[in-house]
Amino acid sequence: MMLAPGGRRPMAEINVTPFVDVVLVLLIIFMVTAPFLQGGLEIDLPKVSSSGLDVHEGLIVSIRGDLTLAVGETTVSPEKFEEALASAGAAKRAVFLKADQSVPYGTIVQYISRMRRAGVVQLGLVTEPPVKGPR
């Protein structure tokens, strides 16, 4: 067997310390960035600008400021909401929810839940683009 200069044998083991250091640094990076990857909705939804939705192809459900409910162009009572959705064929096409900004968030969530129970699969929220002031 050949000896290395200085009379020692060559080292045949892999030093894993740099590997462990790199793995720990990557773990810390992922732990720090993971909370930022979870998205959420804007708080002020009615003023969010969006593009690409064609609301003319779907069914529009409207909740007005006085909590009057409309499915398409027909005003319905809250008790007959699911029946109106079924007769309008909401389960087979996209449904767009237009809610007045003054409607409480809890009320909107209740109607979204009722639409999901009625079989609505595609649901979108209709918003208006923000008003741009003079420059």
- Kindly report the CA angle at 126 between 124 and 131, in degrees rounded to 5? 150
Q: How high does pLDDT run on average in the chain?
A: 78
Domain extent for 71 = 45-125
Q: Is residue 5 part of a domain?
A: no
CATH number assigned to the domain comprising residue 51: 3.30.420.270
Would you give the distance in Å from CA 2 to the centre of its chain? 66
| Tens digit of each residue's pLDDT (9 = 90 or more) over 37-61 | 654 433 344 455 555 555 567 788 8
pLDDT exceeds cutoff 60 at 1 = no
Q: What is the pLDDT of residues 78-103, one digit of tens each?
A: 899 888 888 888 888 888 888 888 88
Number of separate domains in the chain: 1
Is 3 inside any structural domain?
Answer: no
Question: Higher-confidence residue: 91 or 77?
Answer: 77
Q: Is the pLDDT of residue 21 over 90?
A: yes
Q: Is the pLDDT of residue 109 over 60?
A: yes
pLDDT at 20: 92
pTM of the model: 0.56
Residue 17 lies in a domain: no
Contact present, 54 and 98 (Cβ < 8 Å): no
